[in-house]
Structure 1
Amino acid sequence: MNRSTSDVQAFESHATDADLDDLRARLTAARLPEAETVHHAAPGSRRWAQGVPLADLIDVVNYWRTEYDWRSFEARLDRIGQFHTAIDGLGIHFLHRRSARADATPLILTHGWPSSIAEFTDVIDELADPKDADTPAFHVVVPSLPGFGYSDKPATTGWGTGKIAAAWVELMERLGYSKFVAHGGDWGGVITTVLGGRFPEHVLGIHTTLAQPPSGLTTDGLTAAERAWAEETHHFWHHRGAYAKQQATRPQTIGYSLVDSPVGLLAWILDKFAEWTDTEDSPFETISRDRILDDVTLYWLTRTGASSARIYYESHGGVNAFDPELRVDVPSAISIYPCDIEKCPRAWAQERYRQIVRWRSPERGGHFPSLEIPEYFVKDLQEGLAAVLAANR
């Protein structure tokens, strides 16, 4: 599809019947391993000690093959409003929902991995047109990261978090939003931090569920709870971060499996939804199978298992790595959910985020709060951004 460098064009998502038939055929013909060799006496985290349990995977695969409705998700995206534009030669797909309120503020929401724009589809309406007239309203923009979903797959290196943040500024300007607020978690949190640090002339402030402190800070002066956070984060990256090391060093190798096998893709992603959510045994305690399959099917139909993994390769180390000296001077609201994988003490966060106007530690929720506890997430985001906007007055 030919585009000029500044055109923004409407976009419709529509998988072919042949692609959906192929998906079902592959699910039917899948070869599965034997059951995991762990105790099955009772539900709990140990049941997932070797990864996704066979019985759980079979249940989701059967539902995906016989009951899941992809067309419903496509219709939801179309109702929100989908668009495409080219920035630096790369096609960027995004959702755009303008508020009916005259006082609405532009807001860009950035997802991470292994999520996608599917992470935010159920919260966009309330952010754009809240039921309470005293609650801030937003013109909501939700882009698909390069190599994710319906955005193009980069054919060369260079699309790390810094370049993506610069592309988001260009995207917002094309939509007429020269100043805006930003939110993100996971890689979206890193990109949101870069937006606030590098582009303060455009970014009014940020809200993030991932605060990244500078390296080398000590635990001196931290409370016992904050020390526990630091220890949990350290443990995660040293004992449970193999997926990130794989994608940061050999994304092409794992990519063959993720693009060729829907069951392999499902297991790779479902494992993270299980481990990173605030649940006792299964991610489906808080997130429906449909919502997780919206995300997984988007990866499958767009063949982005390999290209999405490359954000780790592009952003871990080298010239595209996160700038350790970056400081964020715009107003920042930060929420650290109890079951997220990285939890940053406020004293550490303040070393990078110089104007924290709101800090929250919710009582529940994990890495995907917009899916796990959407009503709370929306309220927290509204209140956090209200504090950010108040600091600009």
Structure 2
Amino acid sequence: MSNKQSKKNENKKKQQQDYKQKHKSSFFSFGKIVFLSAILIGVASYYLYKALTTPPDLPKIDLNAYWGPYPMKINPDLSIRPYKIEFSDVMINDLKERLLHRRPFPPPLEDVGFTYGFNANFINRVLDYWKNKYNFKEREQFFNQYDHFVTNIQGLDVHYMHVKPNNILPDVEVVPLLLLHGWPGSIREFYEIIPKLIRPRVGQKFVFEIIAPSLPGYGFSQAPARPGLGAMEIAVVISNLMKRIGHEKYYIQAGDFGHYIGSIMSTLFPETVLGFHTNLPILLFHPLAHIYTWLGSFWPKLIVEPELESRMYPLSEKMSWLIEESGYLHLQASKPDTIGIALTDSPAGLAAYILEKFSTLTNPSYKNAGDGNLLAKYSLTNLLDNIMVYWSTNSMTTAMRLYAESFNKRTLSTRLDEIPTEVPTWGIKFKYELVFQPDCILKLKFKNYLHSTMVEDGGHFAAMENPEIMATDIFEAVNTFRQFHNVTSPQEIVDGNDKKAETIYDFTVKDIYGRDVKLEKYRGYVLLIVNVASQCGLTDTNYDQLNELHEKYAKNRDFKILAFPCNQFGGQEPGSAKDILKFIQERGVQFDVFAKIEVNGENTHPLWKFLKQTQSGTFGDFIKWNFSKFIVDKNGVPVERFGPNMNPLDLEPYLAKYW
């Protein structure tokens, strides 16, 4: 081989080696980049997860901050003083003059209803009624049918209604209930519901004493003299008001801005608030709530039941509607005094601004009607009562400032929606409420969120629109709160004679919260009834598989699991109802759990007597151990029985026979 050829081969070999080395180097460089990127993504994900799931500390707040005018009085009057609502002749005459000499309004476009805002044709009818038919002195007496008081809290004269029940039997307990309104509502919202709350109800051993304050700056309560009185600060004022009245522990019912204030009170004062009932159960400022909502737009079943999906999705439609209807919030959170000047000077403007909300937020479809369908749910007199609270006290501007004080960097930095509370909470969700959130989102904050009542009607102003539904729900909620705080298990109450029973529908039991449950409610479902315990060697397997069975079939196969805690086998369910409730909440149990019972012996629960008589065991009727199981068909008849060693998932072929 010539030197020339040899040199050529050597160069070629060297080029190949250089290429391989370069390729190898590039490959390892790329691998390093991927590896380092994975590490960075992992670290970033970890810190993001920690940021989203680690609650902030409670904010530092001055519990005695002074909000009144300066100079401060050396010896302020801290007594509780009677108060009378008055519509003075001077105010009435001025109002009528303004209504009489109002300028003509531009006519509305054809067939627009309320879609452009309050319809000018209908506002004339409202204003004429206000001027000519609204009986000011009669309505003044109406407002004063309940006792009103004022007391100075942190420099502000705070007004409240105080309504106590009369002629109460000795065995009926009177419990305090704090009612919190929002904007554009007032204490007027509560006049229809109060009579229903101060009268005892059949089956309830308690009745309510009502405390309903006007929020500072609203109606008959004094407004602050300087900036900074937001929802958190008002929560402190109201807490101090309740102490002044003499209530160290109480229940709260709230909606609209009242919900936000009540939520904060539950967070700051969990030892004081015995239970929180809300008709606007939402988390506005929790980042995970927004992430859940967004993810649910792709897979709705991840977070919301199919039958409720339309209340939340399609997300684009809900967000468009929310943006359309929340313009007032942006205005009031940024420039409340600008719009306040207009509404303070014009009763027509005030009426249109408020009543438009009573139309659209009661039912979105009402905006298509020329009168906003306002009179479908309310009378003009009642609607004007609420407007009179703002007009007679000249408080529209000071009320709207609450938005500017609560939707700002200072307040949002407290991250109060992200701080968990253990206060038992109950929500009622009306179909046309401004925002809907499923329970899985609400439980991010309310760790003892016990129940949601779903209502297939109704909107934002629930106490005025549906006082009977609201009152019934409040009684049920507080009854549940009382059971939650009770250290003993409630005694079972059973309707029907177990010896004559033909189906399980003949029985009534108590659930884990102490409420009576007629098993008639399960008609048409295939049921798995099981006695459970929290400290048994079979607990983990059975609870995990019962949960899995529930997830697989509860929504698709008309299937329900009914679990009855029992302490008769090895003392493995020793806790109270509260202990059991905590246990099942920690395990994420979704199936129905009832109060602790006995399944053998003299005190055998009648339902379980019936189950054992209908489906005998191999070595006798008695229950042998924890996690014995009965299948009940869609007619309420027990059809099969299985021992503790039969795992729940092994029951799938047996259950399939009865779908």
Q: TM-score, normalised by structure 2?
A: 0.57
Q: Within 5 A, what are the aligned runs for 1:118-267?
A: 118-130=188-200, 132=202, 134=204, 136-213=206-283, 214-215=286-287, 216-218=290-292, 219-220=295-296, 221-223=302-304, 224=306, 225-226=308-309, 228-229=311-312, 231=315, 234-267=319-352
Q: Deviations over 1:36-77 (max 9, x none)?
A: 22x42xxxxx51110111121111111111011232332233
Partner of 1:61: 127
Q: Structure 1: any 5+ residue segments left out of the alignment?
A: 41-45
**Deviation of the 1:358 alpha carbon:** 2.0
- 2:108–2:121 Cα contact (<8 Å) kept: no
Distance in 2 between the 1:93 and 1:72 partners? 21
Distance in 2 between the 1:35 and 1:326 partners? 50
**Deviation of the 1:380 alpha carbon:** 1.5
Alpha carbons of structure 1 residues 135 and 263: separation in structure 2 relative to 1, 3 Å:
farther
Distance in 2 between the 1:133 and 1:347 partners? 31
Give the residue type in structure 1 aligned to 2:270: P
Equivalent of residue 19 in structure 1, options 91, 98, 113: 91
Q: Deviations over 1:148-187 (max 9, x none)?
A: 1010121111211111111111111111110000011000
Distance in 1 between the 2:146 and 2:321 partners? 36
* Count of residue pairs brought into register by the alignment: 387
Q: Deviations over 1:85-138 (max 9, x none)?
A: 111101111100122345111110000000000000121122122354626311
Q: Within 5 A, what are the aligned runs for 1:90-109?
A: 90-100=156-166, 101=168, 103-109=173-179
Which SS does the other structure have where 1:247 is aligned? helix
Which SS does the other structure have where 1:48 is aligned? coil
- 1:343 correspondence with 2:436: yes
- 2:204–2:479 Cα contact (<8 Å) kept: no
Partner of 1:303: 394
| Structure of greater relative contact order (alpha carbons < 8 Å, 6+ residues apart) | 1
- 1:376 correspondence with 2:469: yes
Distance in 2 between the 1:5 and 1:208 partners? 34
- 2:82–2:149 Cα contact (<8 Å) kept: yes
Give the residue type in structure 1 aligned to 2:386: D
Distance in 1 between the 2:76 and 2:140 partners? 26
- 1:367 correspondence with 2:460: yes
Structure 1 runs (4+) greater than 6 angstroms displaced: none
Pick which of 376-385 and 334-343 moved more.
376-385
Give the residue type in structure 1 aligned to 2:446: Y
Give the residue type in structure 2 aligned to 1:311: L
Alpha carbons of structure 1 residues 389 and 98: separation in structure 2 relative to 1, 3 Å:
same
- 2:422–2:448 Cα contact (<8 Å) kept: yes
Distance in 1 between the 2:95 and 2:203 partners? 45
Partner of 1:318: 409
Partner of 2:606: none
Partner of 2:103: 31
- 2:173–2:205 Cα contact (<8 Å) kept: no
- 1:205–1:330 Cα contact (<8 Å) kept: yes
Distance in 2 between the 1:20 and 1:176 partners? 37
- 1:338–1:362 Cα contact (<8 Å) kept: yes
Partner of 1:84: 150
Give the residue type in structure 2 aligned to 1:241: S
Partner of 2:139: 73
- 1:47 correspondence with 2:113: yes
Give the residue type in structure 2 aligned to 1:390: Q
Alignment RMSD (CA, Å): 2.0
Give the residue type in structure 2 aligned to 1:36: P
- 2:279–2:462 Cα contact (<8 Å) kept: no
Give the residue type in structure 2 aligned to 1:222: I
Which SS does the other structure have where 2:266 is aligned? helix
- 2:329–2:403 Cα contact (<8 Å) kept: yes
Equivalent of residue 426 in structure 2, options 323, 329, 333: 333
Distance in 2 between the 1:255 and 1:189 partners? 24
Distance in 1 between the 2:103 and 2:205 partners? 51
- 1:276–1:339 Cα contact (<8 Å) kept: yes
Partner of 1:4: 76
Q: TM-score, normalised by structure 1?
A: 0.93
Q: Deviations over 1:251-270 (max 9, x none)?
A: 01001011110000000001
Distance in 2 between the 1:366 and 1:169 partners? 28
Distance in 1 between the 2:449 and 2:77 partners? 37
Distance in 1 between the 2:387 and 2:339 partners? 16
Q: Deviations over 1:289-328 (max 9, x none)?
A: 1111000011011001111110100100222336232222
Which SS does the other structure have where 2:124 is aligned? helix
- 1:292 correspondence with 2:383: yes
Structure (1 or 2) with the larger CA radius of gyration: 2
Distance in 1 between the 2:141 and 2:322 partners? 38
Give the residue type in structure 1 aligned to 2:312: W
Q: Deviations over 1:198-244 (max 9, x none)?
A: 11111001000112222233234123534642636533442221111
Q: Structure 2: any 5+ residue segments left out of the alignment?
A: 1-72, 297-301, 487-659
Distance in 2 between the 1:390 and 1:296 partners? 40
